[in-house]
Amino acid sequence: MSETFRDYLKKIGSGPHTGKHLTREEAASALEMMLKETATPAQIGAFLIAHRMQRPTPEELAGFLDTYDKMAAALPKGESPVTVLGCPYDGRSRTTPVTPIVALSLASAGFSAILHGGDRMATKYGMPMVEVWQGLGVDWTQLSRDRVHEVFKTTGIGFAYQPHWLPEACRLAEYRDQIGKRPPVATMELMWSPYHHRQHIVSGFVHPPTENLFRETFALRGQHLFTTVKGLEGSCDLPRSRTAIIGLSGDRSTPEPELSWQRLHVHSRDYGLGGPDVPFESEEQVIRDLKAVIAGKDTELTKSAIWNVGFYLWRTGVSKDLSAAIEAAKTQISSGKIAEMLERLREETVRELAID
Query: Using an 8 Å Cβ cutoff, are 131 and 98 in contact?
Result: no
Alpha helices, DSSP H, located in the chain: 3-12, 15-18, 24-35, 41-54, 58-71, 99-108, 129-135, 145-155, 162-165, 173-179, 184-191, 208-221, 283-294, 300-315, 322-335, 337-355
- Per the document, the length of the chain is 356
Number of domains in the chain: 2
163 belongs to a structural domain: yes
Note the pLDDT of residue 256. 53
149 and 204 in a single domain? The answer is yes
Range of the domain at 127: 82-340
Q: Is residue 103 part of a domain?
A: yes
Tell me, yes or no, whether 77 lies in a domain: no
Residues 229 and 276 in one domain: yes
For 321, counting Cβ atoms within 10 Å of its Cβ (0-12 exposed, 13-18 middle, 19+ buried), the class is exposed
Residue 101 lies in a domain: yes
Q: Let me know: does 111 contact 80? Beta carbons within 8 Å.
A: yes
pLDDT of residue 255: 46
Distance between CA atoms of residues 138 and 348, nearest Å: 9
Helix axes 99-108, 322-335, angle to 10 degrees: 90
| 23, amino acid identity | T
* pLDDT of amino acid 198: 92
Biggest CA pair distance of the chain: 62
pTM of the model: 0.95
CB-count exposure of residue 318 (10 Å: 0-12, 13-18, 19+): buried
pLDDT by residue (tens digit) across 160-203?
999 999 999 999 999 999 999 999 999 999 999 999 999 999 99
Query: Can you give the C-alpha Rg of the chain in angstroms?
Result: 20
Question: Same structural domain for residues 179 and 308?
Answer: yes
Alpha-carbon gap, residue 281 to 233, rounded angstroms: 15
CA distances from 331 to 43, 105, 304, 337 (A): 54, 11, 15, 8
Indicate which CATH number applies to the domain containing 216: 3.40.1030.10
Q: Measuring CA to CA, which residue among 185, 224, 230 is closest to residue 205?
A: 230
* Residue 116 sits in the same domain as residue 46: no
What's the pLDDT at 320? 87
137 and 47 in a common domain:
no
Q: What is the pLDDT of residues 48-98, one digit of tens each?
A: 999 999 999 999 999 999 999 999 999 999 888 899 999 999 999 999 999
Structural domain contains residue 350 = no
Which regions of the chain are under pLDDT 70?
1, 16-17, 252-259, 352-356
> 184-194: buried (b, 16+ CB within 10 Å) or exposed (e) per residue?
bbbbbbbbbbb
Do 245 and 194 reside in the same domain of the chain?
A: yes
Specify if 226 maps to a domain.
yes
Q: Is the domain of 185 the same as that of 296?
A: yes
Q: Cα 300 to chain center, whole Å?
A: 24
99 shares a domain with 231: yes
Q: What per-residue confidence (pLDDT) applies to 75? A: 96
Judgement on whether residues 140 and 45 belong to the same structural domain of the protein: no
Is the domain of 229 the same as that of 308? yes
With respect to residue 242, please indicate whether it lies within any of the assigned structural domains: yes
Distance CA 256, CA 131 (A): 36
**Shared-domain flag, residues 42 and 95:** no
- Residue 28 is classified by DSSP as H
Tell whether 75 is covered by a domain. Answer: no
In this prediction, residue 18 carries a pLDDT of 74
Q: Is there a single domain that holds both residue 204 and residue 129?
A: yes
